[in-house]
Structure 1
Amino acid sequence: MTMEREQLVTMFSVEKSFHVINKPIKSHSKRRIIANGLNKLSDDEKMSDDIFALTMNIFDRFILKYSQLINDHHCQLIALSCYSLAKKLRTNVLINNENEQTSWIFLNENYSDEEIFDTEQLIAETLDWDLSTVVPHDYIQLIFQAVLPNEVDQAKIRLHVHILLSLGICELNTLTILPSILCCACIKAALKGLSIVNIHQIDELLLKLIHCKKSELIQTQHMIEKLFQSCLQEIAPSPTRRCLAPIDTSNKTNTSPRVK
């Protein structure tokens, strides 16, 4: 067994320990707003996307176990503390000068140092200090190496996969989907949208790699594609046109519309 394969087997084992089949979907009523805010915050601080994914994983697991009522002020403190914990687990704070935005929010909301420390401790103790886990982004490079050996193809779809994963992680319905399946579904959706390689060949390789049901993978892919289409429609300049780029028809020498 290769080192990459051994790594995948270990990650499959870890992710299944955190995802119970048919577990109830539960999170905070304002999860979507919280997720969007944390996603923007991680982007503003130029954090890698796996930080956001781990943040939401910690937040959702905490909410599932924490039984007391959480008001909006405390909820924001919990969300920011989950983000702070995720950064500590996935980055080197001394090297990455990373806390400017987070510190400003803590200060602006008048959270004391004691509150911040106590909240991080509460989260850690509620989760039995089991904070680090596998997130979908951890699979990207390993799956690329197995099914897309061409580095040019990898570079073309990597950004699209990250965008799709962020959209998926913001959704409550993805909480019960294994990270490996969610990652593969986003890779499939990106490949389909970019029409880079033969999708059917990739399907066979992915199913052998992650050992999931084909129907489950297809269903997850369709969910991701619907989310993406929904986002496109929200930001499109006109409901009758899905083109995201402005069309310039001022070029008289060209009778067909030109996309900038």
Structure 2
Amino acid sequence: MELLCCEVDPTRRALPDPNLLYDDRVLHNLLTIEERYLPQCSYFKCVQKDIQPFMRRMVATWMLEVCEEQKCEEEVFPLAMNYLDRFLAVVPTRKCHLQLLGAVCMFLASKLKETIPLTAEKLCIYTDNSIKTQELLEWELVVLGKLKWSLAAVTPHDFIEHILRKLPLPEDKLILIRKHAQTFIALCATDFNFAMYPPSMIATGSVGAAICGLQLDDGDRSLSGDSLTDFLAKITSTDVDCLKACQEQIESVLVSNLRQVRQQQQQSNPSKTVEELDQASTPTDVRDINL
């Protein structure tokens, strides 16, 4: 009976493989191939005529909410956004098909990363049944063809564990950094300004922003200011100035999102003071309220 109970546990996840995490050849290979999976161009300038950046942000926010509500693996949402950006970089798409494309990208990403993938029927429900199951399945083949069936894309999440294992911090603090870095990665995925950034830079900048925001240097000068940036840049062979600019941009996106959240909260709870609303100003809280 105990064996049966364990086998049917729907939330069971695969554990990290230390043979992969502690082999620098894996990190090197990820850095070598990551640019293969970037969008070919800034598609709002040269490909898309009917879709605007704010529309991408809206569908990305919806996709994030679906992934969070369904408790998907952290990799699913950034991977789905990678598919969406790569498709939009090569195929002019009507705005009425954007949510359908987002649903298809989540469908494919969950198949690749989830133990129990999202179903076509469930995704159609999340669109208020504005699309039909058959339509989603037909578009799945279209997207696969345009992506040339190259679905194992490198995302920022692939670098997180490789970066964290090199930090001179105890496990409890690494857990906190990981959680906040994952939040930053999700925020970056919703913002088109990061679509052309290498995943390693987004991951490194997210870890740096998490450490600075949480103030976890413990008096270690190597984990503060420019020393931290230099330390992280060496791990992923990233240009120091580019990494610093990326981290500043990530922090700016967080501030902008927090400002929007406070405005929304003030509109819905006008009796609360700014100080009370500011108490929720952490990356984890931003993620929990489904930006």
Give the TM-score normalised by the residue count of structure 1.
0.83
Are the structure 2 counterparts of residues 25 and 103 from structure 1 closer, same or farther at C-alpha, using a change threshold of 3 Å? closer
Map of 1:150 onto structure 2: 170
Are the structure 2 counterparts of residues 60 and 19 from structure 1 closer, same or farther at C-alpha, using a change threshold of 3 Å? closer
Deviation per CA, 1:112-160: give whole Å up to 9, x if none. 42x2221000000011111221100111111100124521110122221
Map of 1:46 onto structure 2: 71
Are the structure 2 counterparts of residues 111 and 235 from structure 1 closer, same or farther at C-alpha, using a change threshold of 3 Å? same
In structure 2, C-alpha distance between the alignment counterparts of 1:176 and 1:122, rounded to whole Å = 23
Are the structure 2 counterparts of residues 87 and 167 from structure 1 closer, same or farther at C-alpha, using a change threshold of 3 Å? same
2:198 pairs with 1:172: no
Map of 1:134 onto structure 2: 154
Please point out which of 45, 52, 70 is paired with 2:94: 70
Contact 1:41–1:101 at 8 Å: present in 2 too? no
Contact 2:64–2:77 at 8 Å: present in 1 too? yes
Are the structure 2 counterparts of residues 117 and 196 from structure 1 closer, same or farther at C-alpha, using a change threshold of 3 Å? same
In structure 2, C-alpha distance between the alignment counterparts of 1:137 and 1:16, rounded to whole Å = 15
Deviation per CA, 1:200-220: give whole Å up to 9, x if none. 443332121111211100000
In structure 1, C-alpha distance between the alignment counterparts of 2:277 and 2:99, rounded to whole Å = 36
In structure 1, C-alpha distance between the alignment counterparts of 2:273 and 2:189, rounded to whole Å = 26
Are the structure 2 counterparts of residues 155 and 120 from structure 1 closer, same or farther at C-alpha, using a change threshold of 3 Å? same
Are the structure 2 counterparts of residues 196 and 110 from structure 1 closer, same or farther at C-alpha, using a change threshold of 3 Å? closer
2:111 pairs with 1:88: yes
Root mean square deviation of aligned Cα: 2.4
Query: Which structure 2 residues correspond to residues 1-260 of structure 1 after superposition, within 5 A?
Result: 3-19=22-38, 23-26=41-44, 28-29=51-52, 30-67=55-92, 69-72=93-96, 74-93=97-116, 98-99=118-119, 101-105=122-126, 108-113=129-134, 115-197=135-217, 198-199=223-224, 200-236=226-262, 237=266, 241=275, 244-245=278-279
What amino acid does structure 2 have at the position aligned with 1:45?
Q
In structure 2, C-alpha distance between the alignment counterparts of 1:65 and 1:25, rounded to whole Å = 8
Deviation per CA, 1:64-110: give whole Å up to 9, x if none. 1113x4241x22211101110000111233xx6x4474242367224
Contact 1:32–1:170 at 8 Å: present in 2 too? yes
Contact 2:124–2:132 at 8 Å: present in 1 too? no
Unaligned 5+ segments in structure 2 are 1-20, 218-222, 267-271, 281-291
In structure 2, C-alpha distance between the alignment counterparts of 1:148 and 1:62, rounded to whole Å = 40
Are the structure 2 counterparts of residues 75 and 158 from structure 1 closer, same or farther at C-alpha, using a change threshold of 3 Å? same
Tell me the matched-pair count.
238
In structure 1, C-alpha distance between the alignment counterparts of 2:62 and 2:127, rounded to whole Å = 14
What amino acid does structure 2 have at the position aligned with 1:195?
Q
In structure 2, C-alpha distance between the alignment counterparts of 1:234 and 1:241, rounded to whole Å = 15
Displacement of 1:19 in angstroms is: 3.3
In structure 1, C-alpha distance between the alignment counterparts of 2:157 and 2:203, rounded to whole Å = 7
Contact 2:39–2:195 at 8 Å: present in 1 too? no
Contact 2:205–2:244 at 8 Å: present in 1 too? yes
Secondary structure of residue in 2 paired with 1:108: coil
Structure 1 residue ranges, 4+ long, deviating more than 3 angstroms after superposition: 25-28, 98-101, 237-243
Are the structure 2 counterparts of residues 76 and 216 from structure 1 closer, same or farther at C-alpha, using a change threshold of 3 Å? same
Secondary structure of residue in 2 paired with 1:49: coil
In structure 2, C-alpha distance between the alignment counterparts of 1:132 and 1:89, rounded to whole Å = 8
Contact 2:229–2:243 at 8 Å: present in 1 too? no
Identity %: 23
Give the TM-score normalised by the residue count of structure 2.
0.75
Contact 2:43–2:88 at 8 Å: present in 1 too? no
Secondary structure of residue in 1 paired with 2:197: coil
Displacement of 1:166 in angstroms is: 1.0
